[in-house]
Chain A
Amino acid sequence: MNYLDYLYIVDRGIQGLGFVLIFFFVMIISAIIVRRRDKPFIREIPTYSKLKQSISLAVESGQRLHLSLGSGGINSMQGGSALAGLSLLKRLYRMTYLSDRPPVATSGEGTIGILSRDSIRSVYEEVGVMEEYEPTTGQVSGLTPEPYIAGTLLVILDQHVSTNILMGNYNSGIALLADAGERRGCLTVAGSDNITAQAVGYVFTEDLLVGEELFASGAYIQPSTMHVASLHTQDFFRWGIVAVILVAGALKLAGVM
């Protein structure tokens, strides 16, 4: 058993806690730095630009948007992708609450479903047009991934959707949603934390969020110091990991460790 394994087994907990604490402090330092800067220095992700573009187009032409929040639960990071979708939902409604065809949001999990309804309702409250509020615009369309895909399929086919925004946790069934969108001739923008779904989405749309990109949604959809700071923190540890792998790997190859 080599030194690294020894470390790995004996002090794993302490190492983990140390890592989390360092992550925390790096995040705060990044936040301070980001706040001093005049704008966020982050690369452009075309999918997010395309997303904004398609939303603007749909809003302008008065067509209906469908926002699918996936079947991830609020209690896991699978919900993280749904939360990215939720943050989008309220903005969509602020833009379209007076439209004849307000966006429709579907989710595959109880809490996310309720949060989506909360969000929609709050917009109507904000602008005092509660009579326009349709509770069915935020709906749970299935309670496990497969029925969710099936139920959402019908929403896409029924609601004369012009743009499909798939932002949540899916399985390979995401292909059926994208296909239903194509049958109805609508644009699909996809982002999922499930990597299989990403691979399937790859053949359907170029407007796809890959791997880690979905977790960056906060910084792109609604730029804020902490969101941008967390991206810089990820970068910091990304390079840390690369350095550790290269140096330790070289030492191993040289037989030092």
Chain B
Amino acid sequence: MSNDIKPNSGTSPENGKEFEKSGEVQKSTTGQSFQDSSSDNETGQEKKTPDWLDDAIPDEKTSDNVAEKSLMQDFHEDVEESADDPSDREVEEKDLPEPVKGEQEEDTIEVQAGPLVGVEGVLPVELDPFFIHEPVRRSIKLQVTKAQETQALLLDQMIKGEIESQPEVTQSKAVSNNILRIGIAIFLLVSILLPLSTRLPVTITPPVSRDSVSANQLIESISDGATVLLTVDYEPGLSAEMDAALASVVDRMMMKDFYLVLVSTVPTGPVQAERLLVLLNQRGGYQYESSKNYTNLGYMPGGPIGLLNFAEAPRQVMPYDLDGNAVWYSPPLQTISSISDFHLVVVATENPDRARSWVEQVQPKLGNTPIIMVVSRQAEPLVRPYYGSEPSQIQGLVSGFGGGAFYLSSNAQAGSSSMYWSSINLALIAGGLLMLIGAVMYTGKSLITRKPE
């Protein structure tokens, strides 16, 4: 039994022997161990070197070099779908040195009879026939392999599990944690509603950020009535922040009577975009109408593939708008044959991966067309490296609610960006304060309780 368990202990490289044995013994046992390196087609991550490469690589199998076999096994196993195919098992067995064969029979019997049938990789014992062949290096201090450490810890945890009266402890803990959560929520609620109820102007207009100014100038520099690709790539969860940030930018573009071409790589994006335009029509008194002032191309699936495809052949990829009209032949879009024909591209997203996809797949095809990113604060740090760098991959960056607010104050527009400014500021500081208290408390605690080395 110890040996069918064994493979799991071969997880650390220094356990060359266990590592090797893992591959060998598993073939003969019913289940597989965690470290099992047998075929894994369905799950994808198959440990196969390509067959052609396998042939190209000189075979240097040496019977005494144990761990080497373990790696080589990955090669051979993969070439033959070993675990699933009985004939392959025979082949494997032929290769096995005598002691292992002996072990295998034992293993099989143990596994089928034992209580841990199929449950492998638990509590291994260092009993490996390969140890007999090679001299073991001895040192003065006790040599404990990673596997042994792991298993010792395992045993320890299991014993603890037995003796400790866990439920009560965790229950009382859970209750106190819940109280803390509720306390935080109430504290935030009060700090948010306070400025709303008192109507006190607790905040000051934030200073204008350089980023927002340059984004503003960029839009200003584009002639009125230009055709702009506007991507609404955020999900409903953060629409409070993103709507605020994007509204301030789109508001500016509507003032300049830009023709907006809406597209999205998020299924709910087209609805989000439509909703935003309805909001801005109400708030800004615009009369933006579908196909007259803007066209909604809708949802573009495929993530990076879709983006690359759209960047190379927008007309073929999105031939119709959401109403089924062949929009590319209507006056505003007649002149647009490639993505670089747009006068400006605005991408609004809360997800750094999506932002990166746009920069990686679309930006290189844009030529001289500038791109403005309107991102959530949570994505900003990962988008910033692409902005203001030389060569600059993003020409404008409006970041989150704050960015929106800065943007507004920079072009003197009153918009939704400044709506909850006071509440949010107070709540932010309240939450920050709580974290600060926690930090100070636990720092002090750990400094006091820390034993001098």
Q: Do chains A and B touch in the complex (CB under 8 A)?
A: yes
Partner-B contacts on A (CB < 8 A)? 5, 8, 12, 28, 31-32, 34-42, 44, 49, 52-53, 55-57, 59-61, 73, 75-76, 78, 83-84, 86-92, 94-99, 115, 118-119, 122, 126-127, 143-146, 169, 171-173, 182-183, 185, 193-196, 217-218, 221-228
Cβ A49 vs Cβ B11 within 8 A: yes
Answer yes or no: B13 CB below 8 A from chain A CBs.
yes
**Given A60-B158, A183-B174, A195-B352, A221:B302 Cβ within 8 A:** no
Cβ A127 vs Cβ B49 within 8 A: no
Q: Which residue of B lies closest to A94 (CB)?
A: B32
Q: Which residue of B lies closest to A183 (CB)?
A: B174
Answer yes or no: B256 CB below 8 A from chain A CBs.
no
Cβ B60 vs Cβ A83 within 8 A: no
Cβ A35 vs Cβ B12 within 8 A: no
Q: Which residue of B lies closest to A118 (CB)?
A: B42
Q: Which residues of B contact A37 (CB under 8 A)?
A: 68, 71
Cβ B303 vs Cβ A226 within 8 A: no
* Nearest Cβ on chain B to A230's Cβ, whole angstroms: 11
Answer yes or no: B129 CB below 8 A from chain A CBs.
no
A57 to B78, CA, bound (A): 29
- Listed by A's residue number, 14 A-B pairs whose Cβ atoms lie within 8 Å are A32-B57, A35-B72, A39-B70, A52-B121, A56-B34, A57-B158, A60-B154, A86-B42, A127-B31, A222-B37, A223-B13, A224-B71, A225-B72, A226-B49
A75 to B177, CA, bound (A): 41
* Nearest Cβ on chain A to B192's Cβ, whole angstroms: 20
Q: Which residue of B lies closest to A5 (CB)?
A: B391
Q: Which residues of A contact B68 (CB under 8 A)?
A: 36-39
A86 to B35, CA, bound (A): 14
Q: Can you add 14 more A-B contacts, CB < 8 Å, to A60-B154, A172-B378?
A: A52-B150, A55-B34, A55-B121, A56-B150, A57-B157, A60-B158, A76-B305, A95-B34, A118-B42, A171-B350, A222-B37, A223-B19, A223-B70, A228-B71
Q: Which residue of A lies closest to B123 (CB)?
A: A60
Cβ B378 vs Cβ A35 within 8 A: no
A195 to B12, CA, bound (A): 27
Partner of A171, one of B157, B267, B351: B351
Partner of A226, one of B48, B60, B157: B48
Q: Which residues of B contact A195 (CB under 8 A)?
A: 352, 382
Cβ B34 vs Cβ A144 within 8 A: no
Chain-A contact segment, one of B112-120, B211-219, B245-253, B318-326 = B112-120
Q: Which residue of B lies closest to A172 (CB)?
A: B378
Q: Which residue of B lies closest to A127 (CB)?
A: B30
Q: Which of B15-41 contact A (CB under 8 A)?
A: 16, 19, 30-37, 40
Q: Which residues of A contact B97 (CB under 8 A)?
A: none
Cβ A59 vs Cβ B122 within 8 A: yes
A183 to B173, CA, bound (A): 10
Cβ B30 vs Cβ A52 within 8 A: no
Q: Which residues of A contact B33 (CB under 8 A)?
A: 91, 94-95
A224 to B70, CA, bound (A): 9
Q: Which residue of B lies closest to A121 (CB)?
A: B42
Q: Which residues of A contact B37 (CB under 8 A)?
A: 222-224
Answer yes or no: B452 CB below 8 A from chain A CBs.
no
Answer yes or no: B135 CB below 8 A from chain A CBs.
no
Q: Is the interface of A mostly helix, strand, loop or mixed?
A: helix
Partner-A contacts on B (CB < 8 A)? 8, 11-14, 16, 19, 30-37, 40, 42-45, 47-49, 53, 56-58, 60, 65-68, 70-72, 74-75, 78, 83-84, 117-123, 146, 150-151, 153-154, 157-158, 161, 170, 173-174, 177, 235-237, 266-268, 302-305, 350-353, 357, 364, 378-379, 382, 391
Q: Which residue of B lies closest to A185 (CB)?
A: B170
**Given A127-B118, A196-B379, A224-B48, A75:B71 Cβ within 8 A:** no
Q: Which residues of B contact A40 (CB under 8 A)?
A: 13, 71
A121 to B72, CA, bound (A): 29
**Given A38-B16, A39-B67, A76:B304 Cβ within 8 A:** yes
Q: Which residues of B contact A89 (CB under 8 A)?
A: 43
Cβ A227 vs Cβ B47 within 8 A: yes
A225 to B84, CA, bound (A): 21
Cβ A39 vs Cβ B45 within 8 A: no
Partner of A87, one of B11, B43, B56, B151: B43
Q: Which residues of B contact A87 (CB under 8 A)?
A: 40, 43-45
**Given A28-B53, A56-B34, A224-B37, A185:B119 Cβ within 8 A:** no
A199 to B382, CA, bound (A): 11
Q: Which residues of B contact A84 (CB under 8 A)?
A: 45
* Nearest Cβ on chain A to B370's Cβ, whole angstroms: 17
Cβ A86 vs Cβ B72 within 8 A: no
* Nearest Cβ on chain A to B360's Cβ, whole angstroms: 10
Q: Which of B40, B58, B84, B170 has the most CB atoms of chain A within a 10 A radius of its CB? A: B40
Cβ B75 vs Cβ A35 within 8 A: yes
A5 to B389, CA, bound (A): 13
Cβ B118 vs Cβ A75 within 8 A: no
Q: Which residues of B contact A57 (CB under 8 A)?
A: 154, 157-158
Q: Which residues of A contact B123 (CB under 8 A)?
A: 60
Cβ B71 vs Cβ A223 within 8 A: yes
Q: Which residue of A lies closest to B120 (CB)?
A: A95
* Nearest Cβ on chain B to A206's Cβ, whole angstroms: 15
**Given A31-B53, A53-B153, A226:B47 Cβ within 8 A:** yes
**Given A97-B118, A127-B30, A53:B150 Cβ within 8 A:** yes
Cβ B32 vs Cβ A95 within 8 A: yes
Cβ A224 vs Cβ B78 within 8 A: yes
Q: Which residues of A contact B122 (CB under 8 A)?
A: 56, 59-60
